[in-house]
Amino acid sequence: MSFSLRVDGQQWRDHLARSIAQDSSIVPVIKGNGYGFGNDQLAREASALPVSTIAVGTHSEVPRVREHFAREVLVLSPWHPTLSAAERDASKTAIRTLAHPEAVIALAADQPGAPVVVEVLSSLRRHGVQPTDLESLIRPLDGLDVRGFALHLPFDEQAKGTKVNEVITWASRLTDAGLSPHTLWVSHLSAAELAQVRTTLSTTTIKPRVGTQLWHGNREHFAVNATVLDVHEVAKGDRVGYRQQSAPKNGHVLVVSGGTFHGVGLEAPSVSRGLTGRGKAVARTGLQAFGKAASPFWLAGQRLWFAEPPHMQVSMVWLPGGMAAPDIGAPLTCKVRMTTAHFDEVFGL
């Protein structure tokens, strides 16, 4: 009666192996909820792949993946002297990212020879050293084991070629400042963009840090299933749930596994572009104002509507009168965002 992830383990692992075979410099990213699979599982999978380095999101994630992956670990979140003692200790066995001049100076003084990657400020503008700070870092960086420089790039595909130009421009800035860009760690470049960068920067090693594209490369290799926990027949106007919503018509209410704990109903804000996108956003908002929201649960190819907002571990959805009610224990397809999903069980791995 669980909210579960079912994986075709062989097909999924074949995809991972093909991805690494096509680009042996890929750095698998393992962070957060492990892209739905769990960080422990992904660390074990990476250990079986011919990769030299993995990347984690935060310093506190290092000890967990270290239990399964003995090679190099890069921490994507910047190290800073203001981190807690526990965070500083956790990342001592990892390659740390430095993104602030004061952090470079502090780490060089405190732990000379520590392996680091220096992040520069990309157009994403999340973290990074400014171009004007580069020359001042030459001396403190001499005291560290600099494994290269990093650019965390935006997703935006609207301006073609801009990300490639940004990487090339930063390589020139680093060279002009007297800092050798022998290795660049990059995020969110397509295969075509990587090829362009590698052609132009032929003497530089390019290491793409890849998460979603690697672990979710083919969604047909895995599926999320909820379970029908209860079925109640209702007549139009009958009230159900904590908020006593009234049934819009005769039919059934299904109680299914999967709630906010599992990631059901959780959605990141999105930017609507163009008249069509904005129109859809307005339509969704209007429906929600009247208590109507589409759920991620599907039955017989039809998307079901929430009867009320999802609970912690279960949801209640309307089943229209023209559809046959499923039995308790029957599975429902659930199209949930994997980066916010937590599963009671994972099958196939």
CATH number at residue 132: 3.20.20.10
| Sign of the dihedral defined by the CA atoms of residues 122, 125, 127, 129, in that order | positive
Task: Classify residue 2: in a domain, yes or no.
Answer: no
Instruction: State percent of the chain over pLDDT 90.
Output: 82
Instruction: State percent of the chain over pLDDT 70.
Output: 92
Residues 241 and 124 in one domain: no
Residues 118 and 46 in one domain: yes
| Sign of the dihedral defined by the CA atoms of residues 2, 5, 311, 244, in that order | negative
Q: State the pLDDT at residue 322.
A: 85
The pLDDT of 262-266, averaged and rounded, is 90
| Sign of the dihedral defined by the CA atoms of residues 201, 205, 209, 214, in that order | positive
Q: State the pLDDT at residue 279.
A: 39
Q: Is the pLDDT of residue 207 over 80?
A: yes
Please give the backbone phi and psi of residue 27, each rounded to the nearest 5 degrees, phi first: -110, 105
User: Which among 166, 184, 215 is the end of a domain?
Assistant: 215
Query: Residue 271's pLDDT band (boundaries 50, 70, 90)?
Result: low
- At 288-328, the pLDDT tens digits run 434 578 999 999 999 999 999 999 999 999 998 889 999 99
Residues 168 and 78 in one domain: yes
Residues 182 and 296 in one domain: no
- Is-contact 46 75, C-beta < 8 A? no
Residues 148 and 46 in one domain: yes
Query: Residue 269's pLDDT band (boundaries 50, 70, 90)?
Result: low
Q: State the pLDDT at residue 98.
A: 97
Task: Classify residue 3: in a domain, yes or no.
Answer: no
User: Which among 215, 233, 257 is the end of a domain?
Assistant: 215
Q: State the pLDDT at residue 268.
A: 60
The pLDDT of 34-55, averaged and rounded, is 97
Q: State the pLDDT at residue 282.
A: 35
Task: Classify residue 4: in a domain, yes or no.
Answer: no
Q: Is the pLDDT of residue 34 over 90?
A: yes
Residues 260 and 302 in one domain: yes
The model carries a pTM of: 0.88
Task: Classify residue 68: in a domain, yes or no.
Answer: yes
Task: Classify residue 109: in a domain, yes or no.
Answer: yes
Q: How many domains does the chain have?
A: 2
Q: State the pLDDT at residue 9.
A: 96
CATH number at residue 338: 2.40.37.10
Residues 192 and 254 in one domain: no
The whole domain housing 151 covers: 9-215
Q: Is the pLDDT of residue 28 over 80?
A: yes
Residues 246 and 186 in one domain: no
Residues 223 and 206 in one domain: no
Query: Residue 280's pLDDT band (boundaries 50, 70, 90)?
Result: very low
The pLDDT of 98-114, averaged and rounded, is 95
Q: How far apart are alpha carbons 25 and 191 in whole angstroms?
A: 12
User: Which among 162, 181, 215 is the end of a domain?
Assistant: 215
Which of 20-34, 96-110, 158-172, 176-190 bottoms out in mean pLDDT, i.e. has the lowest? 158-172
Task: Classify residue 123: in a domain, yes or no.
Answer: yes
Q: Is the pLDDT of residue 67 over 90?
A: yes
Task: Classify residue 1: in a domain, yes or no.
Answer: no
Q: State the pLDDT at residue 202.
A: 95
Residues 210 and 275 in one domain: no
Residues 203 and 98 in one domain: yes
Q: How far apart are alpha carbons 47 and 31 in whole angstroms?
A: 15
Residues 169 and 235 in one domain: no
- At 115-158, the pLDDT tens digits run 999 999 998 899 999 999 999 999 999 999 999 999 999 987 66
Query: Residue 277's pLDDT band (boundaries 50, 70, 90)?
Result: very low
- Is-contact 319 325, C-beta < 8 A? yes
Query: Residue 281's pLDDT band (boundaries 50, 70, 90)?
Result: very low
Q: How far apart are alpha carbons 178 and 163 in whole angstroms?
A: 23
The pLDDT of 38-45, averaged and rounded, is 97
Q: Is the pLDDT of residue 182 over 90?
A: yes
Q: State the pLDDT at residue 109.
A: 94
- Is-contact 130 121, C-beta < 8 A? yes
